[in-house]
Chains A and B, each alone.
Chain A
Amino acid sequence: MSELIHSRSTRWLLAGAGLIVTAVLFGLPLLTLVLASIAGEWTRALPTHPTLAHLRAALGGAQRAALWHSLATGVGATLAALVLGVWGALASRDAPRLVRRGVDAVFLLPVAIPSVSIGLALLVAFSHPPLLLNGTVALVGVTHVVLITAYAYASAQAGIARLPAGVEEMAGSLGATPSRVLVRVTLPLLLPQLRAAAALGFALSMGELGATIMIYPPGWVTAPVEVFSLTDRGSLFAGAALSVWLLATTFGALWLLDRRGSPRRTALARRRSDA
Chain B
Amino acid sequence: MNETPWATPRDGLESPQIRVQALSVRYGDHAVLDRIDLSVAAGEVVVLLGASGSGKTTLLRAIAGFTAPTGGRIALGATDVTRAPPYARGLGLVVQNYALFPHLRVADNVAFGLRARKLPRAQIERTVARFLEMTGMAAYAQRYPRELSGGQQQRVAIARALAIEPPALLLDEPLSALDAPLRAEMLEELRRLHAQLPNTAIVYVTHDQTEAIAIGHRIVLLHQGRIVADGAPRHLHDAPPNRYTAEFFGQANLLPARILDTPPGADGARGYVAVRIADRTIWARRSADAPASGEVLLCVRPHDLRLDADPAAVSEGNRLDGVVRSSQWLGASQRAVVDIGPATVRVDRPASAPLPAAGARVQVTFAAERAVLLADR
Within 8 Å of chain A (Cβ to Cβ): is B117?
A: yes
B112: chain A residues at CB < 8 Å are 171, 174, 176, 184
The contact of B97 among A165, A191, A263, by CB within 8 Å, is A165
A174 to B89, CA, bound (A): 9
Task: Evaluate contact between A173 and B108: CB separation under 8 angstroms.
Answer: no
A273 to B160, CA, bound (A): 20
A147 to B254, CA, bound (A): 71
The size bracket of the interface on B is: 35 or more
Task: Evaluate contact between A166 and B101: CB separation under 8 angstroms.
Answer: no
Those of B32-91 within 8 Å (CB) of chain A: 64-66, 85-87, 89-91
Within 8 Å of chain A (Cβ to Cβ): is B341?
A: no
The contact of B66 among A169, A174, A272, by CB within 8 Å, is A169
Q: How far is the CB of A45 from chain B (nearest CB, A)?
A: 54
A176 to B66, CA, bound (A): 14
Q: How far is the CB of B59 from chain A (nearest CB, A)?
A: 15
Per the CB 8 Å criterion, the residue count for chain A at the interface is: 26
A182 to B164, CA, bound (A): 20
Within 8 Å of chain B (Cβ to Cβ): is A189?
A: yes
Task: Evaluate contact between B86 and A266: CB separation under 8 angstroms.
Answer: no
State whether A180 and B99 are in contact (beta carbons under 8 Å apart), knowing that A173-B64, A173-B65 are contacts in the complex.
no
Q: Which residue of B lies closest to A266 (CB)?
A: B108
Count of CB-CB pairs between chains A and B under 8 Å? 84
Q: Mark B156-167, 1 if CB is under 8 A from A, else 0.
A: 000011001000
Task: Evaluate contact between A175 and B102: CB separation under 8 angstroms.
Answer: no
List residues of chain B with CB under 8 Å of any chain A CB.
64-66, 85-87, 89-93, 95, 97, 99-105, 107-108, 111-113, 116-117, 124-125, 128, 141-142, 160-161, 164
Name 20 A/B residue pairs within 8 A (Cβ), A-sorted. A164-B102, A170-B99, A171-B101, A172-B65, A172-B86, A173-B86, A173-B92, A174-B87, A175-B90, A175-B117, A184-B112, A189-B103, A266-B105, A266-B108, A268-B105, A268-B108, A268-B125, A268-B128, A269-B107, A273-B142
Name 20 extra pairs, CB < 8 A, besides A175-B116, A272-B107: A164-B102, A165-B99, A166-B97, A170-B95, A172-B66, A172-B86, A172-B87, A173-B64, A173-B65, A173-B87, A173-B89, A173-B93, A174-B116, A174-B161, A175-B113, A188-B103, A266-B104, A266-B105, A268-B108, A269-B104
Closest 7 CB pairs of A and B: A174-B113, A166-B99, A175-B116, A170-B99, A173-B93, A172-B86, A176-B116
